[in-house]
Amino acid sequence: MRRAQRSRQETLSLRRQLIGSSCKLFYPNDPLKIVKARGQYMYDENGRQYLDCINNVAHVGHCHPDVVKAAHEQNQLLNTNSRYLHDNLTDYAERLSEKLPDKLCTFYFLNSGSEANDLALRMARQFTKHEDVIVLDHAYHGHLTSLIDISPYKFRNLGGQKEWVHVAPVPDTYRGLYREDHEDPVTAYANEVKNIIKQAHKKGRKIAAFFAESLPSVGGQILPPEGYFQKVAEHVHKAGGVFVADEIQVGFGRVGKHFWAFQLQGEDFIPDIVTMGKPIGNGHPIACVATTKEIAEAFAATGVEYFNTFGGNPVSCAIGLAVLDVIEKEQLQVHATEVGNFFMKLLMEQKIKHPLIGDVRGSGLFIGVDLIKDQAKRTPATEEAEYLIIRLKEEYILLSTDGPGRNVLKFKPPMCFTMEDAKFVVDTIDKLLTDMEKEHLNQEKTSTGST
Ligand SMILES: Cc1ncc(COP(=O)(O)O)c(C=O)c1O
């Protein structure tokens, strides 16, 4: 039976009363109450339609009927843990293995990206018998204690950096240490990791793993230069560590050209562990760790069982299989390339028109627009980005920001996002930026007294 709906204000008051205040809302001054969603659209309690440019979890589209049907049908039959034989589990692992390089052939299923990264950390330590981890600056790898420890984005505001954690600079060629004018940013950024390893060894510490998002998203929608991962992996392997690619935000065809974002680095790069989450279940809590036989065997060698009550249950696996089917049936990877290229082209045209736009970068439907206050220093235009997000909401477009300066507009829409949607978003941004520029000019005139 459906419960009667409360007013938005009542829901907000109850939420403030009952839900921990560290659970944040989008648009905190005027939060949305969303009651329904379909495809790339979300609807509030008054039936107003919003275009969702944020939600990479609803990967194949909100409430995709094939995914909903798969869940419903399996729910009517059986849902239990993975201690019984069930074809959904093995079929699903087989289908994922077809998407991955041959070497990554052993699978563990879990319920969240955080669980996946925590297991990857345990595996890396068990396999290497080392403890330390190298991570990229501003990275976020999850909310568990172990992952807060390896997430500079979080630990910088909490207990600080643990002695077993080492932070490497983000390979950002727009505003990082080595930029587009550097003769060899790949080697320069990889040498930073090499140096970190050297320093750690001097202190008698040993590297278990290098963790990186294949495309650092919280770090500001960054595309590491091609070949960086190969060079880093070389240094990390030499030190006896493993390379963990966090594909939790960016996997499953989002980047268009490839199914996995780490493949943007080139054919010759294969991580030792890949973690998956968010889009894998289109909103249902599923996550996965894929690794090599050697690492999986070393993990199992302790004799300690890995048991996860919900991980790999038949319903989750049915949903995961349906998501893969939809990606293939609707050719969403090709779609992401075509729509993404068109979107990027339109955004590039805006970059020429509006000085606030410093950089447009991306692949497929993973796009970042870096807003800057000035061309020379590339100072993050944080307030302008925040203002734009609020104005876009008034135009029924949901978008958010990322990056250490919270100035990068991040586009990660459901993969059914269309060229018309892209045009609508860019036209609206153009209109808003033009208004902002006019307002800025008027303010300048007023302050200088000119007419
Ligand atoms: C890159 C990355 N890794 C891991 C996680 C953690 O995933 P979850 O929230 O499903 O635990 C997140 C979540 O935002 C993420 O963005």
In the reported structure, the alpha carbon of residue 142 is separated from the centroid of ligand 1 by a whole-number distance in angstroms of: 5
Q: Does the pLDDT value for residue 449 go beyond 70?
A: no
Same domain, 316 and 392: no
Domain membership flag for residue 2? no
pLDDT for res 64: 98
Rounded mean pLDDT, 292-300: 98
Ligand 1 and 219: CB distance under 6 A: no
The verdict on 134 and 281 lying in the same domain is yes
- Does the pLDDT at position 450 exceed 60? no
Say if 278 falls within a structural domain: yes
Cα angle at 249 between 244 and 68, to 5 degrees? 125
Q: What is the CA radius of gyration of the chain?
A: 23
Check if 213 has its Cβ closer than 6 Å to any atom of ligand 1. Answer: yes
Let me know whether 146 and 292 are in one domain: yes
Please give the C-alpha separations between residue 325 and each of 106, 228, 330, 373, in angstroms, as whole numbers: 21, 32, 8, 44
Give the chain's end-to-end CA distance (angstroms, integer): 64
Q: Across residues 23-28, what is the average pLDDT?
A: 96
In this structure, are residues 151 and 157 in contact, taking their beta carbons and an 8 Å threshold?
no
Shared domain for 279 and 342, answered yes or no, is no
Average pLDDT, the chain: 96
- C-alpha to C-alpha distance for 332 and 322, rounded to whole angstroms: 13
Q: Is 291 near ligand 1, meaning CB less than 6 Å away?
A: no
Q: pLDDT tens for residues 249-274?
A: 999 999 999 999 999 999 999 999 99
**pLDDT for 439:** 84
> d(Cα 279, Cα 276) in Å, to the nearest integer?
8
**Residues 298-336 pLDDT 10s:** 999 999 999 999 999 999 999 999 999 999 999 999 999
Q: What pTM did the predictor assign?
A: 0.96
3 domain residue, yes or no: no
Domain range enclosing 430:
8-63+332-447
Pick the last residue of a domain from 286, 308, 329: 329
Q: How far apart are CA 104 and CA 99, in angstroms?
A: 10
Q: Are residues 324 and 337 in the same domain?
A: no
- 274, 355: one domain: no
Closest atom of ligand 1 to 278 CA is: 10
CATH number at residue 346: 3.90.1150.10
CB 196 within 8 A of CB 205: no
Residue 13 CB neighbour total at 10 angstroms: 12
* CB of residue 142 inside a 6 A radius of ligand 1: yes
199-227 pLDDT tens trace: 999 999 999 999 999 999 999 999 999 99
Does residue 247 carry a pLDDT above 80? yes
Q: How far is the CA of 247 from the centre of ligand 1 (A)?
A: 9
Q: Is 114 in the pocket of ligand 1 (CB under 6 A)?
A: yes
Q: Check if 246 has its Cβ closer than 6 Å to any atom of ligand 1.
A: yes
314 found inside a domain: yes
Q: What is the CATH number of the domain that holds 178?
A: 3.40.640.10
The whole-number pLDDT of residue 440 equals 80
Q: How far is the CA of 61 from the centre of ligand 1 (A)?
A: 19
Contact 122, 351 (CB under 8 A): no
Measuring from atom 7 of ligand 1, which residue has the nearest CA? 113
pLDDT value at 279 more than 70: yes
Report the C-alpha gap between 317 and 74 in whole angstroms: 9
Please work out whether the CB of residue 141 comes within 6 Å of at least one atom of ligand 1: yes
Quick one: 340 and 305 in the same domain?
A: no
Asked if 286 and 338 sit in the same domain, the reply is no
The average pLDDT across 345-367 equals 98
Domain count, the chain: 2
Q: How far is the CA of 141 from the centre of ligand 1 (A)?
A: 6
* Per-residue pLDDT reduced to its tens digit, 373-418: 999 999 999 999 999 999 999 999 999 999 999 999 999 999 999 9
Q: Given pLDDT bands bounded at 50, 70 and 90, which one contains residue 441?
A: confident
* pLDDT score recorded for residue 2: 63
Reported as a single tens digit per residue, the pLDDT across 124-150 is: 999 999 999 999 999 999 999 999 999
Q: Does residue 113 have its Cβ closer than 6 Å to ligand 1?
A: yes
- For 37-78, the pLDDT digits (tens) are 999 999 999 999 999 999 999 999 999 999 999 999 999 999
Instruction: Looking at the structure, tell me whether residues 18 and 135 fall in a common domain.
Output: no
Task: Give 120 Cα–ligand 1 centroid separation in angstroms.
Answer: 13
Answer whether residue 1 is part of any domain. Answer: no
Domain end, chosen from 329, 364, 395, is at 329
248 lines ligand 1 (CB under 6 A): yes
23, 249, 276, 288, best to mutate for ligand 1 pocket (most atoms within 8 Å of CB): 249
What pLDDT, on the 0 to 100 scale, is given for residue 442? 82
Nearest alpha carbon to residue 230 among 261, 271, 192: 271
Same domain, 204 and 298: yes
